[in-house]
Copies of this chain bind each other. A is one copy, B any other.
C-alpha cells in the first residue's frame, strides 16, 4: 500500500488496497472492499463494504459508492456521483470463454445518481445529473441525457429530474424544454436539439 500518496485516507483493516492504487484525502474504504493497483479514487469519497474497484478505474471527488458494488476497468466516474448498493458495471459486450475480448468504456459524468441494484452495461454515457432508478438495466451503448430519469428493464427515459433529485415539471415543447423543479423551484432548460431525437 503506497502510504506516501495516501494521507488522511481511512482504510478498514479488512479492506485490501493494492500497491499502486491512488486514493485522495479524506476518503474511506470500508470493510472487505478491494481496490486494485492503478485505480484512482478522488477526495472525500466513500467505497462501501465489499465493493470492488478494478485497475484503471477513475473515480472523482465526493463520490459515494455503497455496499457490494463492482466497478470494472473501462469505467470512469465523475465528481459527486452516488452509486447505490449492489450496482454492477460491465466492460465486455460479448463475454465468451475462449474468445478474445476488448474493453468497452463507460462514462458516468458529474452529479449522476445510480439507484440500488441497477446494472450498467458498458458503452453507455450517463450524462450530468441523470438519475438511474433502482433496479434499472441500462442497456449497452446508451446515452442517458442530462437530468434524465431512466427506469425499468430495459431502461427507458421516463421523466426529468432536478439537481436535487426531484421531478422537473413543465413545458415539453419543441427545441427546448423549460422545466421547473416540483420541490426547489429551480428552472432547468433541456436543449432538445442538442440531445437529438427522443
Contact = CB atoms under 8 A, between A and B. Distances in A.
Interface of A: 14, 16, 31-32, 34, 49-50, 52, 62-64, 66-68, 70, 72, 80-82, 84-86, 88-90, 93-99, 111, 113, 115-117, 119, 121, 134-135, 137, 151-154, 163-166
Residue from A34, A82, A98, A116 having most chain B Cβ neighbours under 10 A? A116
Oligomer: number of copies: 3
B14 A16 contact: yes
Main secondary structure on A side of the interface with B: loop
Contact of A84 (B82, B90, B111): B90
Contact of A113 (B34, B96, B121, B134): B96
For the complex of A and B, 5 pairs with smallest distance between CB atoms: A94-B165, A135-B137, A119-B135, A80-B97, A117-B119
26 contacts: A16-B31, A32-B50, A50-B52, A52-B68, A66-B70, A67-B70, A70-B116, A80-B97, A81-B97, A84-B88, A84-B90, A86-B88, A88-B134, A89-B116, A90-B115, A90-B116, A93-B165, A96-B163, A96-B165, A99-B164, A117-B137, A134-B137, A135-B137, A135-B153, A137-B153, A152-B154
